[in-house]
Each structure stands twice: as structure tokens, then as C-alpha cells.
Amino acid sequence: MLPESNRLGETQEYYFSKKLREIAELRAQGQDILNLGIGSPDLPPAPEVLEALTASARRPDTHGYQPYVGRPELRAAFARWYATFFGVELDPNRELLPLMGSKEGIMHISMSFLNAGDEVLVPDPGYPTYRSATELAGGVVRSYALSETKGWLPDLDALEAEGLDKVKIMWINYPHMPTGAAAPPEFFYRLVDFARRNRILLVNDNPYAFILTDSVQSILSVPGAREVALELSSLSKAQNMAGWRVGVLAGAEAYLKTVLRFKSNMDSGMFLPVQEAATVALGLGREWYDRLNATYRERREVAFRIMDTLGCSYRRDQVGLFVWAKCPGGIDGYGTCDRALYENQVFITPGGIFGPAGDEYVRISLCSPVPVLEEALSRLGGGARVPEQSPQP
């Protein structure tokens, strides 16, 4: 066999890729595993989105290659969505680049802006792909530790004191995964100022903008942000379209053109019926998001009770698609999760896979219906649910 490239030396197969295979094997052995791991919405998209897909696929002229920049109608829909919900005006022909999921955008940006040895600020804990994309693109990861005591926000003064000459990109992700922290709006101003002063490309990965948040925020709403900031958004979470692979990169035209030079050599435009369905999904009104959040709020209560049963502590004001909690008395999250998987057939995620600062934490996804969460609660030894009121006769 011929050898692999050195850049893969440090890169492992993505954690969930391995773990999902293990779960599939356990299930094949007859074990009934409850998967509370991945943030993959279990609910379907809106019916009108499915209708749009079907109607489009039935047309004979929708099956060919699509423009690398997406259909104008899709870009226009993203622009209206940004204006309506984020309060940000974007030029649909210059400041929005549709992607096949926002995850691929992380690699596109890394490949488009990093030279060998460039440093990249990556949150710890944080989404593991920031780190692997950096390494695969030849960059050097410089973790910035987040801590519960500082509201899971980076300590910008400490970073500046350490020196930032070699830093090219800073990944942020607010609402933050896995901690569920929201950034106060004024912190976005500080971040943009920090990026401008230090000539750093600031990228906000923003897939959780709508989930259980008080308001929908964009880094691009900060005046002057477009000079140094990009934002990734996604239809995976708030539109229940994780498998569909639809995202968008928003920001200044010059940056998007650079990314397009990489992307157009790497993949192609999105399947037109998916684009047409996404266009419909972007037009959904506030009531769609309100209904979705009512469901997640109900589920979160059960997830909190699971955390109580595990003896974990957590903040009730967290946002996003997960509940993040600290194991009791310095216990490491991996052990808690392994016990839950092998003894109780419940898969929850160890915080440590998001970086060492997450070692004492565990994460539960809200992407299972209440009965599944209650079954997990029961398997883990939680008490029966106390009904809030008697059933109506």
C-alpha cells in the first residue's frame, strides 16, 4: 500500500463517524441503543418544503449541474431571511454564497486563507472540525480556553497580551456549541474591534441562531464587521434539514470570491430541487420557529432531569440544541458516557471530545422526542415523571 499524506498524520476520523459505526454494530448485536449524541433534528421539514422538493424533482429540467453560486432565487431568499430575522441587509449577488452544508465552509475558508504555519484561534471546548480543518490546511491550532466562570466567552485581553502576529483566522460560534452559551450583543462589537485591530479574519459559525434563543444575532450586524468577518449559517437545525446539506457563507464580496475559487474546483452547485425547497424553507415565518422552540423547550426539561439523575450541574438559561452539564466532583465525562452506553444503552456525548476544557462535562442532544428522553431517564435510574396536572377526563 502507498503511504498517506503527512497532513493526515494528526487527523483522526471524525469522532462521530467512528461512534456511529460502533452504535450501528451494537444495534446489529441486538442492543437497543438510545442515541442522545448527535444534534440531528428528528423532526421533518415543513410540508411545503417537501412539496417544493417533489414538484421540482418531477420537472424534466432540474437534474443537470447547477451554477457554483446557487440559483439567484436561493440567494435572494437568503438575503430576505437575513434581513427579516437577523436585521442584516446583504446583497444577494455579492455577499451570499450558498454551500452544501456549512461544515464544508469550514474547510473552504481554511484552504482559502491559510498558509503553512499560520495560526488559527479555535475555541476549547468547540466543534472539532475547526481544529481538523486548520490542520488539514496546514495551519497551526491555537486553542483559546473558554470557562464557565467567564460565561464561555474568550478572554480577548489575555489573547492580545500573548501576541497575535501569526494569527490569521479566529473561529467563534455563538450561540456556542457545546456549552449553550449566547454572546451578549456588545461582545460581538468587542470581537469585531479585536479582529480589526489585530488583522484577523473572524468567522462566526452560526447554525444555532434560532434554537431557544431570545433573539437571532449575526456578527455582520456590527458596523464595519464586513471588513474582517464572515458568517456561516445553515438550514440543518432550525429548518430540520440536516441531511439535505444546505448552508450559506455571508460576508464581503472579496472574501466570497476567494472562497469560490477554491470551492468551484472542489465541488459543484447544489441539486436544484434541494435549492428550490430551501428557498421555501427560508420563507417560513416566525410561527415555524416558535413551534419548533416550544418542542425543544419541553424536551429540554427532560434533559435537565437526566442531568439531575447523573448528578450533573448546569445552567438553565442555556440555548441551542443541547444541554451541557458538569459532572459532579471532577468526574471525567468520558467515564460517565461510557457507563451510560455500556450499562444503560444510552449514548450521550463526552464533553472532552470538544477539547480538554470540556473534560468534566457531558452533552445531551434535544433531537429525540420526549418519550425517548424519558426512557433514557428511566434507564439511567431517574424517577418516574410527576405529572404537572391530572389528565383531562
For 105, residues 6+ apart whose C-beta sits below 8 A from its C-beta are 99, 232, 247, 249, 259
Q: How far is the CB of 66 from a second copy (least distance, A)?
A: 5
29 binds a second copy (CB under 8 A): no
Joined grid coordinates for residue 333: 465525562
* Order of strands across the sheet that contains 247-250: 96-99, 247-250, 229-234, 201-205, 167-172, 119-124, 140-145
197 binds a second copy (CB under 8 A): no
d(CA 335, CA 370): 25
77 binds a second copy (CB under 8 A): no
**Binding-residue total with a second copy (CB under 8 A):** 88
Nearer to a second copy, 284 or 331 (CB): 284
133 binds a second copy (CB under 8 A): yes
Nearer to a second copy, 88 or 367 (CB): 367
179 binds a second copy (CB under 8 A): no
136 binds a second copy (CB under 8 A): yes
Q: Are 213 and 319 in contact (CB under 8 A)?
A: yes
6 binds a second copy (CB under 8 A): yes
Stretch that binds a second copy, among 1-9, 143-151, 210-218, 383-391 (CB under 8 A): 1-9
User: Taking the CA atoms of the chain, what radius of gyration do you get in angstroms?
Assistant: 21
330 binds a second copy (CB under 8 A): no
Cα first-last separation, the chain: 70
Quick one: which of 34, 78, 88, 132 contacts a second copy (CB under 8 A)? 132
319, 90, 244, 61 alpha-carbon torsion, rounded to 10°: 160
Nearer to a second copy, 53 or 327 (CB): 53
Nearer to a second copy, 270 or 341 (CB): 270
Q: How many other CB atoms are found less than 10 A from the CB of residue 11? A: 14
Stretch that binds a second copy, among 106-114, 204-212, 300-308, 330-338 (CB under 8 A): 106-114
Q: How far is the CB of 101 from a second copy (least distance, A)?
A: 6
269 binds a second copy (CB under 8 A): yes
Going by C-alpha positions, the residue among 320, 284, 270, 237 that lies closest to residue 80 is 284
Alpha helices in 114-202 (DSSP H): 128-136, 156-162, 185-198
Q: How many other CB atoms are found less than 10 A from the CB of residue 44? A: 10
Write out the binding residues for a second copy, residues 209-268 only, by CB under 8 A: 227-228, 236, 240-245, 252, 254-255, 257-258, 260-262, 264-268
Nearer to a second copy, 20 or 26 (CB): 20
d(CA 209, CA 366): 15
Q: Which sign, positive or negative, has the C-alpha torsion 193, 195, 201, 206?
A: negative
Quick one: which of 62, 84, 143, 344 contacts a second copy (CB under 8 A)? 62
Nearer to a second copy, 167 or 325 (CB): 167
Q: How far is the CB of 149 from a second copy (least distance, A)?
A: 31
**Cα–Cα–Cα angle for 200, 92, 63, rounded to 5 degrees:** 110
Stretch that binds a second copy, among 20-28, 183-191, 300-308, 346-354 (CB under 8 A): 20-28
d(CA 132, CA 13): 10
67 binds a second copy (CB under 8 A): yes
Q: Are 238 and 46 in contact (CB under 8 A)?
A: no
d(CA 97, CA 248): 5
Nearer to a second copy, 207 or 382 (CB): 207
Stretch that binds a second copy, among 4-12, 186-194, 293-301, 369-377 (CB under 8 A): 4-12
Nearer to a second copy, 182 or 252 (CB): 252
Nearer to a second copy, 201 or 232 (CB): 201
349 binds a second copy (CB under 8 A): no
Q: How far is the CB of 361 from a second copy (least distance, A)?
A: 22
372 binds a second copy (CB under 8 A): no
DSSP per residue, 335-386: HHHHHHHHHH-EE-EEGGGG-GGGTTEEEEES-S-HHHHHHHHHHTTPPPP-
